[in-house]
Amino acid sequence: MYSILITGGTGLVGKHLSLLLQSKGYHVRILSRKYSKKTNIFYWNVNKNYIDLNAFKNVDYIIHLAGAGIANKRWSKSRKKELINSRVKTTNFLYKTVKELNHPLKGFIAASGIGFYGA
């Protein structure tokens, strides 16, 4: 079965996606901004240009969900800039890392904004 690396995998959508993929037999790895003792969670810090390269071992696909929450704050000019930068910077960092590793991905899926709106 395929191995999938998820950024934002500890967030609301990422947690559910991770569980769903695991239930279907996929091997799931998660990039997180928080350190974890779990063997499938790897630390990264985009602002410090750090990523645990072990996260990429045998990964076939990347699902990129990380980014500032779209519904967390009002959309001021500075907030819009933060939303864009949080996605562009992380996507560029992932691209650069995969390219430097010469890692043969089968696919890359990026979500530009994910929000949950209750009724």
Query: Residue ranges of the domains in the chain?
Result: 3-110
Give a three-class secondary structure readout of 59-84.
CCEEEECCCCCCCCCCCCHHHHHHHH
> Residue 78 — pLDDT band, cuts 50, 70, 90?
confident
Q: Once rounded to an integer, what is the mean pLDDT over residues 81-92?
A: 85
Average pLDDT along the chain: 89
Sign of CA dihedral 66, 84, 103, 1: positive
Q: List pLDDT tens digits, range 15-62.
A: 999 999 999 999 999 999 999 999 999 999 998 999 999 999 999 999
pLDDT at position 4 is: 98
What is the rounded radius of gyration, in angstroms, for the C-alpha atoms of the chain? 14
Check residue 91 and give its pLDDT.
92
For 8, other C-beta atoms within 10 Å of its C-beta total: 23
Q: How confident is the model at residue 119 (pLDDT cuts 50, 70, 90)?
A: very low
Q: Is the domain covering 3-110 a CATH 3.40.50.720 domain?
A: yes
